[in-house]
Structure 1
Amino acid sequence: MPPRAAILQLFHEASCIAPRPVTRDEFLARHYMRGPDVSAAFGDTENWMGGVLSALAGRGITPEIGLCTAALPGGPLTRAGFETLLGELLDSLDAILAQGPLSHLFLLLHGALLVEGVDDPEAVIARAVRTATGPATRIAVPLDFHANPGPGLIEAADIVIGGKLYPHTDTRARGARLVNLAFTPRRLSTRHVGLGVQVPMPRQETTAGPFAELAALTDRLEGAAVADVTLLGGFPFSDAAHRGTSLLITAPEGHDPAAIVDRMRRAVAVRQDALMAAVPGAADVMPELRAALGRGRVVLADVGDNPGGGGTGGETTLLPHLAGLGVAFGFGFLVAPNLVTAATAAGMGGMVEIPTPAGPIAARVERLQPVHYRNSGAMMRGEMLDGGPGAVLALGRSRVLVSSLRVQAYDAEAFRAMGVAPETLDLLAIKSIGHFRASYTPLATGGVLLVDSGGLSSPRRAPPFGGTTARSTPPALLQT
């Protein structure tokens, strides 16, 4: 009998300090689809789904695609929203299983989902899927680089791998690798081991520096005896008991991962200081920024207000500092629906005030248009982003990009789509932690700097590592 494979997805990264919970509506707004619609939307994209679909197609397999849905990073998912989405996910799986058993199931999860009142919700999902398919189906799970997988997920699945790169420029390739591992004739299984540390997200980047060295080491640890080693950065803004930087080791059943774990722990220990280095605040970064501007165009990333990591995107702490530099800068996205409304009322050429902690800044409305563009860089190339109604505000030669919905301008196409050429600016200030590097680094002739505005994605706001407790899960939910 030829292999019969299926795909399911329930993808969300949740911050325990975000002020507002996420509901099912946010999943409906981003994407909520099944069947051929999924292949049409993601088949050519550079993400996990694109990689899984392309690798299955290469094997001559047309998968059955059940519910695939995702929400933008935000607060924990409500209990009601989770139970509804899980029920819909399982209903779509039941419809697939009604046509016969599956040899393989690819369950696309983030790994940092939080749900109000539920401990380890992704384990709940994986167990429910395993109950539905039975033990003969090989379940393979890809996780985001920032995942915090719990033991229940690892036990329910056969193979679990993660992305290795931050920015996540390897997800399509890793999706294809997951498929190849799942179809390996020898029986593989995955072990998960915490490394006893939580590396802050700004220091998890893998384009250079200590975490890049650790990620490269995982490649060298793979070989005939070990099929895959993933170093997960982990998502610090979580209250899950199992959060932290960790390892996924996929090998033949019975393999002892002790030597690999020891090697990685020693490698982390000698880089501890660099991995934990603080990010300067707005005032403290100014001398370094002025010096860098003397060398060329600078990209300044505000790690403290990243909409892709739980930030609101509405912090304006940096703006007065940038306005005093006397250079042409671009700032985006400022997530401020009220400001977009005011700009719309003022009309093209009208004046509005941007609120900042140091007082309002007057700006001229240069452009009014929806924030809607497709990524063109290496990070999630081909994906469409939607920030709702938007505006471009002019401060002399500088431009502020404003959106109504939370969206991260990690791709330079964000500026171009709003009529602003990033190459014409001296400074690009982006609300992002690491994803921006894939698209903006080639523009940074004067260098890349990080700054912490103190927003909800500030490393200073992450819960103390090792000092949290698990959420509670009612027994009835575990039996879903």
Structure 2
Amino acid sequence: MNSPVRRAVVLQLFHEASAISPLQVRRTEFLERHHLRGRAVADAFRDTRNWMGGVLTALDLAEMPYEIGLCTAALPGGPIAADDFAMLEAELLESLDAILAEGPVSHVFLLLHGALLAEGRDDPEGDITRAVRKRVGDAARIAVPLDFHANPGPGLIEAADIVLGGKLYPHTDTRERGARLVELALSETDWKTVHVPMGLQVPMPRQETVDGPFSALAALTDRLEGGDIGDVTLLGGFPFSMAPFRGTSLLVTTTDKTQTVPVADKVRAAIDERRAALLAPVPGIDEALPAIRGGLSRGRVVIADIGDNPGGGGLGDVTALLPALVSLKRPFAFGFLVAPELVTAAQQAGTGSTINIAVPGGTIAAGVEALADIRYRNTGAMMQGEMLYGGPGAVLSIGSSRILVSSLRIQAYDVNAFISQGIDLEKMDLIAVKSIGHFRASYTPLATGALVLVDSGGYSSPGRIDAAHGAP
């Protein structure tokens, strides 16, 4: 790249949307998470272990001048309402226009998720990327980092130059991948990313890269890089989408598009060898009880309710797992249960009182142990340093067990979710979280007996999306 201009701009519009979630996302949810510009973005995220932290730190180290336009994100939910998306898109582009009014730019770092959905838009992230390209011209290099669960559309791939995804799930590599994006984008090499669908959709519980079948595929992509191949990313894809381009797919950043074919062939062959494991179902709660009991005979059991994950379109309000935990008669910690009405009942009753939790077929009595806002920073490898907010919360007790209740949708990515609320996980024989894969980064060391996935049938259940897509 030989542009005489040396000036970059950083933008972000980050959201993961489930087409089957009943929760329509509005602009207010972006305002609640973060909606920042300029130095406020750097102050909030430069030291975090996420995409933004990686990109900004790498730009600083490269002594690349840059400006920061609008950077905003919301928690996963349903599609963004049409008017709200139009407003967010306009704000993003207006912030870019303001920067361009001061002179041209050589690089754009456009931080997207890759699984955003908006009412009335077939390819909203493609629309954004094309609009950015129209403004900055063909001479500028557009580099886009995408979440591991991205479903990139054709407009995004066409308009951008370099598109990288995260390789790991839990997403513990995003800072490093952000730095790699900057390295490729600032080089003089004419890189271009090619997108190759893999012809299947791996369910999210089987996309984890800690020790499952996807871990071998992620390791393979590293070995395929070198020479004309600058980067290879295997995206797990986000199944809870109705976009025609959804699915597990490959991003190959290269100087020679013909080299994409042998790379894709090798990845497909590796997928075929592991297809049965990649598509294996997750048991329901009753089916999983023998594995849980077996794990308790060896030590502590960590349970992940993959069917009601607030980070994957779930509402976090399904209580089906709670009676099973009580029936095991062992101390447990359970969270987050997203139930603002339960928090209100606890506040009205006061600490030391008893309230009822609605569960399938009845109620369970619980004591009000503590009342406080849920606000803490992640301390583990997943989203390290980021501030999490769950609104007013309550800690409920059933004997020596504790239930963490929030008013806002929040995922217990990190053990600090419990520790920050005074819950000692070392005293618990069972730890149950509403998560699909991110919990592994922080909770796996605590699973001395077993780590068990269960499907409660909520809005992040693979069965829900199978039904929506017409699968048997």
- Tell me the TM-score normalised to structure 2 length: 0.98
CA deviations on 1:119-173 (whole Å, 9 max, x unpaired) are: 0100000000000101011000000000000111000000000000000000000
CA deviations on 1:106-126 (whole Å, 9 max, x unpaired) are: 000000000111101000000
Distance change in 2, residues 1:78/1:142 (3 Å): same
Match of 1:402 in 2: 405
Match of 1:349 in 2: 352
CA deviations on 1:258-278 (whole Å, 9 max, x unpaired) are: 111111111111111100111
Q: Which of residues 20, 23, 26 is equivalent to 2:23?
A: 20
Structure-1 separation of matches of 2:97 and 2:421: 44
Match of 1:180 in 2: 183
Structure-1 separation of matches of 2:144 and 2:114: 10
Match of 2:294 in 1: 291
Q: Which of residues 207, 210, 213 is equivalent to 1:207?
A: 210
Matched, 1:169 2:142: no
Match of 1:232 in 2: 235
Structure-1 separation of matches of 2:389 and 2:357: 22
Q: Which of residues 137, 145, 148 is equivalent to 2:148?
A: 145
Provide the alpha-carbon RMSD of the alignment.
Answer: 1.2
1:51-90 equivalences under 5 Å are: 51-90=54-93
Matched, 1:418 2:432: no
Structure-2 separation of matches of 1:458 and 1:312: 11
Q: Which of residues 117, 126, 135 is equivalent to 1:123?
A: 126
| 2:6–2:65 CA contact under 8 A, matched in 1 | no
- Whichever residue aligns with residue 95 of structure 1, its letter is A
CA deviations on 1:4-55 (whole Å, 9 max, x unpaired) are: 0110000000000010211111111110010000000000000000000000
Structure-2 separation of matches of 1:385 and 1:333: 12
CA deviations on 1:170-210 (whole Å, 9 max, x unpaired) are: 00000000000001111000000000000000000000121
| 1:238–1:463 CA contact under 8 A, matched in 2 | no
Question: Displacement of 1:464 after TM fit?
Answer: 6.4
Question: Displacement of 1:466 after TM fit?
Answer: 7.6
| 1:198–1:465 CA contact under 8 A, matched in 2 | no
- Tell me the TM-score normalised to structure 1 length: 0.96
Matched, 1:370 2:373: yes
Question: Displacement of 1:401 after TM fit?
Answer: 0.3
Structure-2 separation of matches of 1:217 and 1:318: 37
**2:88 is paired with a residue of what secondary structure?**
helix
- Whichever residue aligns with residue 218 of structure 1, its letter is T
**1:9 is paired with a residue of what secondary structure?**
strand
Q: Where do 5+ consecutive residues of structure 1 fail to align?
A: 469-480
Structure-2 separation of matches of 1:24 and 1:132: 24
Matched, 1:340 2:343: yes
Question: Displacement of 1:256 after TM fit?
Answer: 3.1
Aligned residues: 468
Structure-2 separation of matches of 1:255 and 1:199: 26
| 2:366–2:397 CA contact under 8 A, matched in 1 | yes
Q: Which of residues 8, 11, 16 is equivalent to 1:8?
A: 11
| 2:228–2:256 CA contact under 8 A, matched in 1 | no
Structure-2 separation of matches of 1:243 and 1:337: 33
Question: Displacement of 1:447 after TM fit?
Answer: 1.8
Question: Displacement of 1:237 after TM fit?
Answer: 0.3
Match of 1:113 in 2: 116
Match of 1:260 in 2: 263
Q: Which of residues 279, 283, 287 is equivalent to 2:282?
A: 279
Match of 1:310 in 2: 313
**1:227 is paired with a residue of what secondary structure?**
strand
Structure-2 separation of matches of 1:465 and 1:134: 40
Matched, 1:44 2:44: no
| 2:292–2:450 CA contact under 8 A, matched in 1 | no
CA deviations on 1:334-386 (whole Å, 9 max, x unpaired) are: 00000000000110101100000031000000000001000000001000000
Matched, 1:190 2:193: yes
Match of 1:476 in 2: none
| 1:6–1:104 CA contact under 8 A, matched in 2 | yes
Q: Where do 5+ consecutive residues of structure 2 fail to align?
A: none
Question: Displacement of 1:462 after TM fit?
Answer: 1.2
Question: Displacement of 1:253 after TM fit?
Answer: 4.5
| 1:298–1:446 CA contact under 8 A, matched in 2 | yes
Distance change in 2, residues 1:215/1:466 (3 Å): farther
**1:462 is paired with a residue of what secondary structure?**
helix
- Whichever residue aligns with residue 26 of structure 1, its letter is E
**2:198 is paired with a residue of what secondary structure?**
strand
- Whichever residue aligns with residue 8 of structure 1, its letter is L
| 1:236–1:463 CA contact under 8 A, matched in 2 | no
